[in-house]
Amino acid sequence: MMGMENQPETFADKLLGFTLPLRNARARVVRLDRVIDDVLAAHDYPPPITHLLGEALVLGALMGGLLKADGDDAQLTMQAQTKDGAVSLLVCDYRGGQLRGYADFDDARLSQLGANPSLTALFGEGYLAITFETGQGQRYQGIVPLEGDNLAQACESYFTQSEQIPTLIRIASKSSSTGRVAAGILVQHLADGEEGRERLHVRMDHPDWEHIVALAGTISHEELLDPALSLEGIAWRLFHEEPEIRIQPGAALSRGCRCNAEYYNTVIARFPEAEREEMRDEQGLIVVDCAFCAKKFELSV
């Protein structure tokens, strides 16, 4: 495990999974570098939004990494929304190692919040919706209040309230000379048994979970962001006293926007002709902007 630390090119923009079988626990670790810059490059976001979106992309990768490899259609979508905050909408999704995200905000209201606004200041009273879609056509969604000091705490509440899975999430994000880098770890305690035994979610004080939280909670922001520390190194540093750590290499991560003219033509064609006529510009074209990548598509449908 430690021998892989001589390969710095593997330390960023990849997802790592591991399990602690004797503790009934699983974890995901991710560090993002180029992916964040690729996503942020689509829009001229102010610093508070680049920080927020960087955290959202890490959370999208961590939670998306929980999906089983059921094909290209398996997807995780995280959406934070409100009507009374400076940020009205934040969307991030993960599919097959591809991440994308964007934020819609009121620039004037955002400028009044200072350099490091809280989650409450950004969103006011909002909600967080997390949707898991499997490659087999199944769809699961949970909605919880957008509460906590940061997005990570809101996601912990989602797993506790909607999935009844004890979860710890830690996120770190900072600006560097080359752009923004962000990283995070997600650790969960799984059910001890589905039949005949008490499920772990009714015992948040389970000794195994308390042990895992005590160890995982020692991770520092510096360790998560350290470019010289591999993802495997993080797992080993936190849980090296455990009898067994099973490493599960995850997907290489990249920015991936799935917009294309063919898709938009199909969507627009569903509108009645009268409505399509109202959409046309002086050249008779319907111009569609992709919020994720900021590309414009001129359609003649």
**Start-end of H helices in 160-293:** 207-216, 221-225, 231-239, 261-268, 273-279
The pLDDT, as a whole number, for residue 193 is: 47
Residues in Cβ contact with 171 at an 8 Å cutoff, skipping those fewer than 6 apart: 55, 58, 59, 150, 151, 152, 182, 183, 184, 224
The pLDDT, as a whole number, for residue 1 is: 41
pLDDT digits (tens, 9 = 90+) for 10-49: 478 999 999 999 999 999 999 999 999 999 988 899 999 9
DSSP label at residue 126: -
Domains and CATH numbers, the chain: 12-257 (3.55.30.10), 262-299 (no CATH)
The pLDDT, as a whole number, for residue 170 is: 97
pLDDT of 7 above 60: no
For residue 178, give the 3-state DSSP assignment. Answer: coil
CA 168 from centre of chain: 14
CA 43 from centre of chain: 19
Task: Please state the pTM of the whole predicted model.
Answer: 0.86
Listing DSSP states for 224-248 in one string gives: HH-TTS-HHHHHHHHHTTSS--EEE
**Tokens standing for 192?**
């001890």
